[in-house]
Structure 1
Amino acid sequence: MDRLFASGTVSAAVSGEGPPLLLFHSLLSDRASFDAVVPDLAASFRTIVPELPGFGRSHAVDGGLAAVADRMADAVHDAAGGVPAIVLGNGYGGFVALQMAIRHPAVVSKLILADAGAAFSEPGREAFRTMAKVSREKGLAAITDVAMRRLFAVEFQAQHPALMQDRRDAFLRTDPDVFRAACDALASLDLRADLAGMTVPTRVVVGEFDEATPPPMSYELAAALPRASLRIIPGCAHVPQLQSPKLFLDTIGDFLSLKQTASA
């Protein structure tokens, strides 16, 4: 069931009953990237999967990542009925979730940051600047192959052609201006100075072979957060919930206290 939150500015799919759990998608994907894990999560939680600002039917917002985080804080507060919620962010969604938890700690009860971090290395920043530049000059289609390599290992792409076509189509539906604004925000982001003051219990997870947000970013993030635990997901890249749904759920299950283990 789709619903609108934050005064009608954020669209989200809602399923299940229980404590509120929100899932924030990555920049190179959409909310469908959680489809394989939502049924298991919805057995324990009221699972809310929003389209981040500027994606799908959610309204774009000006003002960089901080403004996106503020909009999503309103959406979380609204969707959770004013009680603190568990928030899981993957990739770009993880950066949004982290910024949101820093700026609005009262809306978050627990945080799961999957394949994210607090700041990129200079090569990582340059990759975002390059993607923004090429997409501006030649369109999103010109960087689709690069985008898919950042999400999935080459071997995985070859083994799952139908899934890859679906993910390419999803990426090409992204608003180019929203994509470039997000690239610019991530290229300059540095949240490291804010981490020591965070008190939200956090599970940091990262795919072993993630090239978009390499494991050292998660090591640094988990080490700097006062109440964080770190898990490496073997054999996975940037979107482990798509690549290996059961392994992903097993990795976060104890932190979430899931009622049952994923069946597939």
Structure 2
Amino acid sequence: MHYIESGAGTPLVLLHAFPLDARMWNPVRGLLDDQLRVIAPDQRGLGESALDGSSARSVAEPGENRRTAEHPSLDLAAADILALLDRLELPQVVLGGCSMGGYVAMSVLRAAPQRVAGLLLVDTKAVADNDEQRANRLKVADRAEREGTGGWLADSTLPNLLGSTTHERRPEVVAGVRDLVDAQPADGVAWAQRAMAGRPDSVETLRSYTDPALVVVGEEDTLTPPDNARELAGALSGGELVTLPGAGHLPSIESPDAFAEAVRPWLSRLG
């Protein structure tokens, strides 16, 4: 598994959103790594991480319809993260995830809650997909395998990934996120969509977690809006909620200074 690491101190593992990679955390890395050891992995099949869990990425050509031997599952994605923690000799970390990264973080909680000393959930949700959402994910997976991801995936995801303020005032951010989406391998995109489509409801997992937790949401997020974030925070016994104005689904990219200002005090209290 490929990962980016910087800083020293309390380990903070940040899991990226779909359809992006670990680079989505770069805007906040320099704002946090004076206090923390920031570790951002590329999840299976995305960025520079291999789809089959090996050390080298192998990418299917559009139309090849090749799948990894393992059935797509966020439990497998969580196992990848736990294997990385073992490799880095980290018995406990603060674990953060945005959107899909939040789903994987909840899968880690199901598998090994003792490894998570603090939980940071960013623009994500605990409920499983409904039938329509699941069907849409599977359609995207099939199209990615048939056609690749160039152009159409960014066109379909950017309107909801970024808030209205970003679309209107931050063209360089929009262009940067488009580049990240266009860079993702088609087979990894398909695998991730199928894994997310099959994920279970995680509300009870959050209710059973008793260590500190912070929920961050962009005020302009239409995919997992502030009302959803309030429900997440309410499910966590130690949950706190911060809403960031002028940001959508990706506040670490859209409003990195505000994001860092929101999470640094909470991280400091964790010691």
Q: How would you bin the TM-score normalised by the shorter chain?
A: 0.7 to 0.9
Deviation at 1:156, TM superposition (A): 1.7
The aligned amino acid for 1:191 is: S
TM normalised by structure 1 equals: 0.85
1:204 aligns with 2:215: yes
1:68 aligns with 2:59: no
Deviation at 1:143, TM superposition (A): 2.6
Deviation at 1:155, TM superposition (A): 4.6
Distance change (3 Å), C-alpha of 1:57 and 1:196: same
Deviation at 1:251, TM superposition (A): 1.5
> Paired residue for 1:195?
206
Unaligned 5+ runs, structure 1: 1-9, 259-264
Q: Secondary structure at the match of 1:204?
A: strand
| Aligned counterpart in structure 1 of residue 125 of structure 2, from 117, 120, 131 | 117
Matches within 5 A, 1:84-163: 84-120=92-128, 122=130, 124-140=133-149, 141-163=151-173
The aligned amino acid for 2:83 is: D
The aligned amino acid for 1:11 is: H
Aligned residues: 248
> Paired residue for 1:33?
24
Q: Please, which moves more after superposition, 64-73 or 10-19?
A: 10-19
Distance change (3 Å), C-alpha of 1:216 and 1:182: farther
Unaligned 5+ runs, structure 2: 53-69
Aligned-residue Cα RMSD (Å) equals 2.1
Tell me the distance in 2 between the aligned counterparts of 1:227 and 1:153: 28
Tell me the distance in 2 between the aligned counterparts of 1:211 and 1:186: 18
> Paired residue for 1:231?
242
Deviation at 1:120, TM superposition (A): 4.5
The aligned amino acid for 1:65 is: L
> Paired residue for 2:56?
none
Tell me the distance in 1 between the aligned counterparts of 2:158 and 2:106: 24
Give the % identical residues. 28
Tell me the distance in 2 between the aligned counterparts of 1:47 and 1:151: 23
| Aligned counterpart in structure 1 of residue 178 of structure 2, from 165, 168, 171 | 168
Tell me the distance in 2 between the aligned counterparts of 1:71 and 1:18: 23
